Every structure is written in C-alpha cells, then in structure tokens.
Structure 1
Amino acid sequence: MASVKATPGHRAAGWRPTPLLATSLALGLLAALAVGPAWASAALPEATPVAGVTDPATEPEPDPETTPAEEPTPTDDPGGDPEPTDPAPETTAPPPETTPPAPVTTTPDVPPAPTTTAPGPGATSRPPTPRPPVPPVRPPAPGPEAPPPNPLGVQVTTEDVTVTGAYWNAASTITTLRVTVTNTGIAAQRIRLSYRLPEGLTDAGTKGCATTGLRAYRCGAWTTAPGARFSSLLRLRVAGNAWRQMPLSGSVQVAAEAPGVAGEATDDQGFAVLFPPGPPVSGISLDADEVAFDISGAPSTLTVRLGNTGEADAAGQVEVVLPAGVSVPTPPAGCVAVDTTRTRCDAGSVAAGRTVELRLPVEATPQAQREAPLSGAVIGQLDPRRGPTRQVQMSFRITAAAALATPVVSPPAPTGSQGVLSGGGASHDGPMTSVERTAAILIGVSALLVVLALVLATTSLRRRLSDRVAGPTAAPTD
C-alpha cells in the first residue's frame, strides 16, 4: 500500500499553536506570581498589629481593721458643740493600703548575631541565614486624649438602726448607727460628714456634730491618707411613738477635698430603721423577709407570714407600706392598691395555730435603688368572731445592688483605625489607595492573560480535531 504523506501546510498547522500556548501559559503563571504578594498585601491594612503582653499586677490583701484608742479628731469646728452624753464615738483607722509597685518591664533578650569564620581548605562556605524582617511598628492614629484621673475619691457605707424588743417598754431608746468612710483617692483629703434623720429620731449627743435644722446634722472634717478607712458611731435617740411613723429611713453624706485640687468628691448612703413586731399582742404573729434588688434592677418579691397563735379562728388582713419610689406594680389576687405606697391584702380565714403566707411583687425606681438600703412596713391584723381585734406591725429591709455599684471610668475608645484588624474583617468605603489601585490593575491584566491562554488553547484543539476528521488524502497511483 502506498504511504500517505501529509502536506507541508498541515504540518505547519499542527506545530504552530504549541509555542503560542506555552508562551501564554508562562505569561499567565508569571503574572499570577507577581500579583499574589500584592493581592495579599492589598487585602490587609498597611499597619501590622502588635500585641503586647503584660503580667497582671497582684493586688495585696486588705489590711484587717484595728481599733485605736482615740477617734480621728476633726480639723475644723462644725459650727456647734453639743453636750455629749457618752464618750467619743468609736473609730477604726487601719494603716493606709499601699499600692503595689509597678511591674518591672524587662527588654527581651536578643540572640547575638552569628559569627562567621573563614572556611578551611576543602570546606564548603554556606551563606548566612538571613533574619526575618521586623514588621514596622506604626504609632496609633491621633485622637482625643483621655482626661487625667481625678485624684479625689471617697466612699461611705452604713449599717442599719435596729431597735430591740425592749423598745416597747421604754419611753425612748438610745441606739447607734455605724458609719464607715474610706479615702478611695490617690491624695490626702479632708473629709466632711453629715447625715439626715427621719421623723421620730434625733441625735443623742454625738461629739463633734451639731444640728443644721430640719433633722439634718453636720460633723467636722478629718484629714485622711490615700486608702485610709475609719468608722464612727453616731448616737441616736428613737422616740417612744416613732413606730407609728414606720417605715423610717435616713441618709449619710460625705464630701472630700484636697489642697490644690479643684472640685470635691461626694458619696451618700441610706440606712433603715428596723422595729421588731409590736406592740406585743397575744394571739398573733407577724414576719416579713428582706427585699433585695439585683444589679439588673428587675422586680423582686416580698414574702409576709401572718400567724394565728390564739385559740379561735380569725379573719386575717395584711397591709404593706412602702417608701417613695418602691411599689407593688400588679397586686395579686385578694390584694388592692390603696395608694401608690400602700397595698392591702385579704388573707382569708386563718385557723387557730396556723400561718398564712403572702407573696407580693415589688419594684423600685433607679433613684430609690441608689438610695437603698430603705425600709418598709407590714401591718398584720386578725379579727376573731369573738373577742377584740389583734394588730401588730414591723419593719423590713430593702436593699439594692445598684447602691453599692461604682461606675467604671474608662478612656474613650478610639474613633479611627489603630492598625488592628478585627475578627470579622475590615470594611473600606472610602477611595482606593495606590496599593489597591495597583493590585486591581494587576488582577485585571492577569485575568486577561488567563482568558487569552484559554482562547488560544481552545482554538488549537479545535484545529487539530478538524484535521483528524478530514482524514489524510491518498496520493495518485502510477
């Protein structure tokens, strides 16, 4: 059979696309390699985040309170000197709390540069390993400077005025109110103390304190060191008929100032006057739990228990009296709101020797929670079928976590970028930078080269397929 010869044109057509395809692929690969670093750098901000790690400072344990022999002496006259009936109020002044020293920052050890020696005869010299480049540290963008910390600071806490059962057999009762003051600033301060008493309570001759009218009293000033704390006992007299005015609450205020520092720091704290159930009456018992509001300020619950300790069944009734700002938002079944601070509940028939329990929802305004602790009152009554009506009343305590919360002062957050990329990525709505424009151009050129290479490869493949379909042409026989 005669051999088939391909024409020179077909051979040229079969070899022509191969160099062109290889050239296009090489150009596309080079463009991709050139674009890769620029593309990666364009996706990240120019600055490299630098994370600093510091060891947390260890806070010292608070010093235990010690009781000195004498109280802090006021440095000025409060304006009066009432005759004291007892020795000076007890005070407590522990040594000032010391601030832990700042942690010592040490420079990290830098490994020494490798020393190079001339290679001996026959040895192969190895080039030194280049050190990785250190990323540049970019200073934070300028922004508003944080205000300097206030060197003044003061805090006051109080305990309750608790009246014992002996109150019901006395014309009046003398009790005490413990007040604790702490210098929370960073400078020596002069702290002034004042307090306001509710109706039915008067000062019983606290040394260094004098009345300013309207049941308000002002004491002298104490000079305290930073971190110093002292306690003082205020002597108070509770009138024999003060229980008729319950609930009763008062407040204590402190103000601190320092030489050369403008303004003053203030704080205030309320206190509750708590009476036991009474006046004592046989055949009835009354008890109420404390009401506590958590830091969220959500409504709480008041639980009241009314007991019949007599020998006959009786109709029970409970009346709850709350201070201003505290109320029962939705009275439960059997209860009705008499006014904004008074709610009356029908306890039904209470059998002899039995106790009924009532639960009422209670809410307080933010201002009332800041003034806590406060006190409320409960009045219990039993009306038997035969015999006189029996009635007693008592106080209960109202506390709130918001009264002890201290606002946290923090520097304002930066409004501009600080060179740190957030976990969710960065958004960019402004005009493109020069790096981003260059990256976009290179990406476009690379895409065009890849498309061109694909077109050339497809064209070459189609030509080869068409040549195979046409088949070889046979040469004429002799």
Structure 2
Amino acid sequence: MARVDVRLGRRVRDRRAVPLAISLALGLTVAALPVWATAHPAAARIAATTHPSATEPVGEPGGGVPTADPTDTGPVPTEAPTTTAPPPEATPPAGTTEPAPTTTAPQEPAPTTAAPTTGAPVPSPSVPPVRPSAPAPSPPAPPAGVHVTTDDVTLTAAYWNAPSTVATLRVTVTNTGATPARIRLAYTLPAGLTDAGTGGCAGAGGGEHRCGEWTSAPGARFSTLLRVRVSGDAWRRMPLSGSVRVTATAPGAPGPATDDEGFAVLFPPGPPVPGITLDAEEVSFDIGGGSSGLAVRLGNSGRVDAEGRIEVVLPAGVTVPAPPPGCAPAGTDRTRCSLGTVAAGRTAELRLPVSATPEAQLRAPLSGAVLGQLDPRGGRARQLRMSFRITAAAALATPMVSPPAPTGSQGVLAAGTPSVGDGRGGSARRTAILLIAVSTLLVVFALALATISLRRRLAVPSAGPPASPKP
C-alpha cells in the first residue's frame, strides 16, 4: 500500500495561508490610503482660509481706493515728491535685481512711480546650476503693505556759522503688498525745523506735512528727499526728533496699511568754544531691550585745570535707571554728573546705564543731548552741547511668523499639522493611523508565517517516490 506524506498537505495549507494574509494586509492598506489622503489636506484648507488670496476682493462692493487717510482733514497735495534711487540694501534678496523706480518731475500733475525691473541673475557658464530642494510654502503677502525707513538730519560744523541751515532727510519706501498700491507720505518736524520747499508736500499745521501719492508696483522700492530748514537757535532745544508715516491703499484690501519711523536731528559739538572738547557715542538697544549704555568724554584742551560737569538729556521713555557715583537725577529727563578735576590736556570719560520702554524703542531712532562744562579756577566757564543717536533693534524687527509645518512623506503625518475645528479631521487621521498600524501588523504576521513555513520545508527531508504496491 502506498505511503501518503501528510506533511505535503500541511505545506499546501501553509502556502495558501501566506498569500491570503498578504492580500488582506494590502487590501487594508489600500483602503486606508483614501482616508489618509483626505485627512492630510484638511490642514492645508484651514491655512488657505486663514490667508485670503491677494486677488480676492475683501472690501465692500463698489468701494473705490481711498486717496487720503481717514484721519486727514487738511488739504492733500495733488502731486507727490520727486523720487530718487534708493540706497543699497544691507541684505539684498537673492535672485532679483534692485528695483529702480523712475524719477518723477515735481511739475507733473499726477506723477507715478514706475514698476521695478526685476530679473534673474545670469548663472556662471562654468558652474552647473544646482537645483535646491523645494522651499517650504510661505503665507501669501497681504494685498496692501508698506515699509518705511529714514535717515537722520545730520548737521556739520558749518551750522554754527549760519543763521539757518537747509538739510535733506532721505525717506525710503517699499511696497510690501501683493498688488499695486497708492502710497502717501506724511512727516512731522520738531520745533526749530521747517519745510524748505519740498515739492509735492504742504504744511497742515503743528509741524505736520502731507504729500501727494505715488502709484507703486508690488516690491517697488524708492527714496525721496525731504528738504528741511534748521534754524540757527534750534540747538537750544536739543534733543530734537521727528517722525515719518506712510499709508498704502490697494484694491481688495480691507483697509489701508501704515508704517512709521522716527528720525533724529544730530547737532555737532558747539557752539565752538576754545579749551573744551565733547564727544558722545550712539546708544543702541538689542532685540532684548538691553544696551551697553551711553559713553561721554569731556576733554580739557586748555592750559589750566578745571572742574568738569556733564548733563544728559534723554527723550521720553528713555532713562538712566541707576546713576553711577557722582551722578543724580535733575528732573524726569535729565541726569547731572560731576567729574571732579579734569587736568589740562586730559579727557574724562563717563559711562551711564540707559534703559528704554518698549514704546520708546519702537519709536527709534531717537535723539538725546549732552551738555559738557568746564569751570577753571580763574576765568569764565566753558560749555559745549551736542546730540547723539538712539537706535533699537525692536524698531526694525518684524512680527514673528510661525514657520509652516514640513510636509511629511506618504504614510507619515506631518509634525505640527493643526486639527480641523469640527473634529472630523482628527477622527479621520486617527482612523488612518489605526488602519496603517493594523496593516503593518498583518504584513509582519504574514512574513512571520511565511518564514515559519519555509523553515519547516527546509527542515523536512524531501520524500522519495512512492513505493509500488506488492503483488
């Protein structure tokens, strides 16, 4: 009687079970992919609703672009100041050339700023271009946006020999919005300064001046020069500071975008007096609000010793929190210090700690003043005054924006993906994760079953041909 190998049937069952488990695992995986595909774009849809499209109208139907600030009540000039090439940027953006706005003559009734010419840099022929990885998506720019920076009104020693001095204030404007915008400018001058005939600008009272508007393309950057006149006795009122404000309006924007920045009026040491020198360094606040303090040097260039004194005048919001020995507050904005005897030909140096409120830092750059005095034992006292600049990194910082979450590969959830507000997106993601986990376990089970079956087949010797039945 022939011998039947029962192990053969067992191997056949094992071989049938392996494809069945693998098929079941693959089926569950394929079923989980649509759920995962619908769960992952949910966060993208939320981000899209958070940042409206630049081309989508947001304002009321039929509303035109306003041509003046809602708070402006005075006359608005019909022309804008003449534009000029902006100064080079400290960190120019890669891949584009510097915009060069067209200079507009002030006699034209409606000057416009031409769109900037941008172009990609020509790659070097000897170096093959490198294809970087795709950058993370950034939120779209708002329809209306504007940024302004200012220089200072810096006077030279010639100021002390003239009844008044005409200086220029450079203002640089950048259209940071996604659409063409109409940009208007206004500036406020402190006491002792008046407008010296800037084309396209008119006085509105109280040191306020308003200018006409430019039509600016997205990304356009240009400068204008404001002419101001500094009176011969303005130094008696130091420190002096002013401010510049710009407003941008664009179609589709919910309202105008504004930005402002201050500027300082810097006087040289004077009025000139022989036998005394004075110098003060710039005060700068870092992003955390700390500063290295104010360094002042009073020199005795005369032939006799003299008692030295220093008085520091700071703008609103800037103070000396802890006066060093020999110094004492002389008011809300003043600190007086005694330097003792300053020998002839020597210079005394003093460093004062300085702090500023967040509001004062946002108004920077500001201006402070220093008065130095030498009192010799015989003779008249000698005095000098000068102003110094106060800057703050907070005035240049932009609001922090959370970087977008990196896109995960297929089958992996992106870290930091926000959940859908109604809870369906979170449930879908949990279901997808559960199905993927079950599918993975089934695949592992199938592989383990196949391995066990293969080991059994290798462990059992192959069966010979069945014996023929005996007659």
TM-score by length of 2: 0.62
**1:251 & 1:303 partners in 2: Cα distance?**
26
- Shift of the alpha carbon at 1:230? 1.6
Deviations 1:312-343 (A, max 9, x none): 00000001000011111111111111122111
Q: CA RMSD in A?
A: 4.3
Q: Which amino acid aligns with 2:215?
A: T
Q: Which amino acid aligns with 2:274?
A: S
Residue 413 of structure 2 corresponds to which residue in structure 1? Answer: 420
Residue 303 of structure 1 corresponds to which residue in structure 2? Answer: 295
- Shift of the alpha carbon at 1:93? 6.8
293-302 or 220-229: bigger deviation = 293-302
Residue 161 of structure 2 corresponds to which residue in structure 1? Answer: 169
Q: Which amino acid aligns with 2:95?
A: P
- Shift of the alpha carbon at 1:300? 3.2
Residue 451 of structure 1 corresponds to which residue in structure 2? Answer: none
1:334 and 2:334 correspond:
no
1:278-317 equivalences under 5 Å are 278-317=270-309
- Shift of the alpha carbon at 1:413? 8.0
Q: Which amino acid aligns with 2:360?
A: A
- Shift of the alpha carbon at 1:97? 4.2
User: Any conservation in 1 of the 2:320–2:352 contact (CA below 8 Å)?
Assistant: yes
Deviations 1:1-59 (A, max 9, x none): xxxxxxxxxxxxxxxxxxxxxxxxxxxxxxxxx9xxx9xxxxxxx97999xxxxxxx94
Residue 204 of structure 1 corresponds to which residue in structure 2? Answer: 196
**2:317 & 2:120 partners in 1: Cα distance?**
40
- Shift of the alpha carbon at 1:412? 8.7
User: Any conservation in 1 of the 2:405–2:414 contact (CA below 8 Å)?
Assistant: no
- Shift of the alpha carbon at 1:408? 3.8
The correspondence for 1:218, drawn from 185, 210, 220, is 210
**2:345 & 2:413 partners in 1: Cα distance?**
72
**1:147 & 1:63 partners in 2: Cα distance?**
23
Q: Which amino acid aligns with 2:413?
A: V
Residue 354 of structure 1 corresponds to which residue in structure 2? Answer: 346
1:71-82 equivalences under 5 Å are 75=110
Q: Which amino acid aligns with 2:282?
A: E
Specify the SS of the correspondent of 1:300: coil
User: Any conservation in 2 of the 1:306–1:356 contact (CA below 8 Å)?
Assistant: yes
User: Cα gap change, 1:356/1:413 in structure 2, threshold over 3 Å: closer, same or farther?
Assistant: same
**1:183 & 1:96 partners in 2: Cα distance?**
14
User: Any conservation in 2 of the 1:96–1:225 contact (CA below 8 Å)?
Assistant: no
User: Cα gap change, 1:71/1:296 in structure 2, threshold over 3 Å: closer, same or farther?
Assistant: farther
**2:313 & 2:207 partners in 1: Cα distance?**
23
Specify the SS of the correspondent of 1:168: helix
1:424-443 equivalences under 5 Å are none
Unmatched runs of 5 consecutive residues or more in structure 2: 1-20, 26-34, 41-92, 122-130, 132-137, 417-426, 439-471
**1:157 & 1:93 partners in 2: Cα distance?**
20
1:387 and 2:422 correspond:
no
Specify the SS of the correspondent of 1:187: coil
Specify the SS of the correspondent of 2:360: helix
- Shift of the alpha carbon at 1:99? 9.3
Question: Number of residue pairs matched?
Answer: 339
**2:206 & 2:399 partners in 1: Cα distance?**
31
1:325 and 2:309 correspond:
no
The correspondence for 1:254, drawn from 227, 246, 269, is 246
The correspondence for 1:95, drawn from 100, 116, 133, is 116
**1:374 & 1:97 partners in 2: Cα distance?**
35
Residue 30 of structure 1 corresponds to which residue in structure 2? Answer: none
Specify the SS of the correspondent of 2:330: strand
TM superposition outliers: structure 1 runs of 4+ over 3 Å: 46-50, 64-76, 91-94, 96-100, 146-149, 408-414, 418-423, 432-436
Specify the SS of the correspondent of 2:386: strand
User: Any conservation in 1 of the 2:115–2:216 contact (CA below 8 Å)?
Assistant: no
User: Cα gap change, 1:370/1:62 in structure 2, threshold over 3 Å: closer, same or farther?
Assistant: farther
- Shift of the alpha carbon at 1:65? 4.8
Residue 63 of structure 1 corresponds to which residue in structure 2? Answer: 98
- Shift of the alpha carbon at 1:379? 0.2
User: Cα gap change, 1:179/1:74 in structure 2, threshold over 3 Å: closer, same or farther?
Assistant: farther
Q: Which amino acid aligns with 1:228?
A: A
399-408 or 146-155: bigger deviation = 146-155
Residue 172 of structure 2 corresponds to which residue in structure 1? Answer: 180
Unmatched runs of 5 consecutive residues or more in structure 1: 1-33, 39-45, 51-57, 77-90, 106-145, 424-429, 440-478
Q: Which amino acid aligns with 1:420?
A: L
User: Any conservation in 1 of the 2:326–2:339 contact (CA below 8 Å)?
Assistant: yes
Q: Which amino acid aligns with 1:174?
A: V
Q: Which has the larger radius of gyration?
A: 1
Q: Which amino acid aligns with 2:180?
A: A
**1:147 & 1:301 partners in 2: Cα distance?**
39
- Shift of the alpha carbon at 1:94? 7.7
Taking every aligned residue pair, what percent have the same amino acid on both sides?
A: 64
